[in-house]
Amino acid sequence: MAKIVAVCTSENKGCKKQASEEGILKEDYGLIGDAHAESGNHRQLSLLAIESIEKIRKLGADVCPGDFAENLTTEGIELFTQPIGTRFSVGDGVILELTQIGKECHDRCAIFRQVGTCVMPLEGIFARIISGGVVRAGDEIKII
C-alpha cells in the first residue's frame, strides 16, 4: 500500500518545512498554514517520495521529510513517472491532480552543495487540489 509518511509546512518560502502528522488541504488553494499555498496556482502542493530522500541519504546527507520543502512525503508510489493530469486520492476523499514534474533549481540548495545532487528537481511533483480535506501520515495514496 502506498501511503503518506509526513505532512510538512513552513511559514516562509525558501526554507525547510516542519513535518507533522496531519494537515488540511483546501480545494484550489493548498496546505493550510504553508507559505506556498495560493489560489489558482498550478503548484499548490508538492510531493516527494521517501525513496527519493533515501537516495540522498545514501550519499551521506542527513535529510528528513520536509528538508526538500515538499508538503507531502510519500512511500510506495513513484508519482514522478505518471503523466501530467493524473489524479490521486489521498485518505478519505482528497483528490489531487498532477500538474508538474520536477522544477528548475535556480540556486543550488544546501543539499546539492553537500552531496553534489538533489532529487526534488527531477523526482518531486506538484499538484493542484481538486477536492480538499484532512490528510494524515499513514493515509493511503493511490492513482485513480
- What is the block-wise mean pLDDT of the chain (144 residues), using blocks of 10 residues? 96 87 96 92 93 86 86 95 97 96 64 55 90 98 96
Structural domains in the chain, sorted by start: 3-143 (2.40.33.20)
CA-nearest of 5, 53, 10, 50 to 33 is: 10
Phi/psi at 97 (5° precision) = -125, 125
- pTM for the model: 0.90
How many helices (H) and strands (E) are present in the chain, helices listed first?
3, 11
Q: What was the pLDDT predicted at 118?
A: 56
Q: Parallel, antiparallel, or unpaired for β 45-49 and 18-20?
A: unpaired
Q: What was the pLDDT predicted at 13?
A: 82
CA-nearest of 126, 123, 111, 122 to 56 is: 111
Contacts of 72 (CB under 8 A, 6+ apart): 4, 6, 7, 8, 45, 46, 47, 48, 90, 135, 141
Q: Give 74-101 as a DSSP string.
A: EES--GGGSPTT-EEEETTTEEEEEEEE
Measure the CA angle with vertex 82, ends 18 and 53; round to 5°: 35
